[in-house]
């Protein structure tokens, strides 16, 4: 029988991001997937409210936090991974292809390339590691970004931005290194998992004219049958045409510039200047 992890979710309405606490019911060993650092772009203020909600949940349940897992370098929110690492002494893991993402965005911001060593663990496709009595399998699922990974844990898989709820569709592919054809093939790997596999998505933006309640759990079978963009056996060429046409209409994410220069550093904020102030960069006319 496939083991079933406990999954708790904390939804951030400001960025529509879902942070997961995944734990082994037998041992209490836990991991956090895709934590959020609160950031107000108007004032430049950061806060730890979302992070503290996640840590309080862990403490209330008596869980033992072992690691933070990132599915990719996010363009829609700042990660709290480094704050959690410093607060709880745990390591941060991400897909090993992060080095290319770091190099590209470091050049955009005219900043030093932080290099993959700012993360503690770099995972290759097929890597496996223990979470208590559970096994975590890393699946390289590029397309949204070149470095995206999904984490399969027992009867659950955490797909980041690769897929959304069936009535919303799939991830955009117009970021540097993104590719719709690559995304299609990554999704096929996920859809080849057993249909009863629980699938947890990274965001829920709510479909236009549809439901008003936020959801983040579905199944492989539900995605195969009814995903708006790829369900029902849609062909690769049809998907690429649909995805590229949709991407051409999408606005740039509001937090892409502040988030990426922080997230390629595993969530570490820029070093303070001589005044003690920290600054984020906004390259003009560069996107």
C-beta atoms surrounding 42 within 10 Å: 5
- Hey, which CATH number is domain 6-251, 3.60.15.10, 3.30.590.10, 3.40.50.2300, 3.30.70.270? 3.60.15.10
pLDDT digits (tens, 9 = 90+) for 189-213: 999 999 999 999 999 998 888 889 9
What number of residues does the chain have?
287
- Output the 3-class SS for 112-131: CCCCHHHCCEEECCCCEEEE
Q: Cβ(77)–Cβ(17) under 8 Å?
A: yes
What is the predicted pLDDT for the residue at 156?
98
C-beta atoms surrounding 275 within 10 Å: 7
Helix (H) or strand (E) holding 100: helix 98-108
- CA dist., res. 188 & res. 153, Å (int): 18
What is the predicted pLDDT for the residue at 193?
98
Beta bridge partners of 9: 20
At residue 44, does pLDDT exceed 80?
A: yes
- CA dist., res. 214 & res. 167, Å (int): 12
Q: Comparing C-alpha atoms, which of 153, 161, 159, 147 is closest to residue 129? A: 153
At residue 217, does pLDDT exceed 80?
A: yes
At residue 1, does pLDDT exceed 80?
A: no
What is the predicted pLDDT for the residue at 210?
84
Residue 170 pLDDT level (bands cut at 50, 70, 90): very high
Residue 2 pLDDT level (bands cut at 50, 70, 90): confident
What is the predicted pLDDT for the residue at 209?
85
What is the predicted pLDDT for the residue at 185?
98
| Distance, CA of 156 to chain centre | 15
Which whole number is the average pLDDT over 107-127? 97
């Amino acid at each position: 029988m496939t083991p079933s992890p406990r999954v708790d979710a904390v939804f951030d309405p400001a960025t529509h991001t879902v942070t997961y606490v995944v734990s082994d019911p037998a041992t209490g060993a836990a991991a956090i997937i895709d934590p959020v650092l609160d950031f107000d772009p108007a004032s430049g203020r950061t806060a730890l409210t979302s992070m503290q909600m996640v840590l309080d949940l862990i403490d209330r349940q008596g869980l033992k936090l072992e690691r933070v897992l990132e599915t990719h370098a996010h363009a829609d929110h700042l990660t709290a991974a480094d704050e959690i690492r410093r607060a709880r002494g745990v390591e941060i893991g991400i897909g090993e292809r992060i080095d290319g993402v770091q190099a590209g965005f470091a050049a955009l911001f005219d900043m030093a390339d932080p290099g993959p060593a700012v993360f503690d663990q770099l995972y290759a496709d097929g890597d496996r590691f223990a979470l208590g009595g559970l096994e975590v399998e890393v699946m390289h699922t590029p397309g949204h970004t070149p470095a995206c990974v999904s984490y399969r844990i027992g009867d659950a898989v955490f797909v980041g931005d690769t897929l959304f709820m069936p009535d919303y569709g799939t991830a955009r592919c117009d970021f540097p290194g993104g590719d719709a054809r690559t995304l299609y093939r990554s999704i096929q790997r996920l859809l080849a998992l057993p249909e009863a596999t629980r699938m947890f998505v990274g965001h829920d933006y709510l479909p236009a004219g549809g439901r008003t309640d936020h959801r983040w759990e579905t199944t492989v079978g539900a995605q195969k049958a009814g995903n708006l963009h790829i369900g029902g056996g849609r062909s690769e060429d049809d998907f690429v045409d649909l995805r590229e046409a949709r991407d051409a209409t999408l606005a740039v994410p509001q937090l892409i510039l502040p988030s990426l220069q922080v997230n390629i550093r595993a969530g570490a904020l820029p070093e303070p200047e001589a005044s003690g102030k920290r600054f984020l960069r906004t390259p003009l006319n560069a996107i």
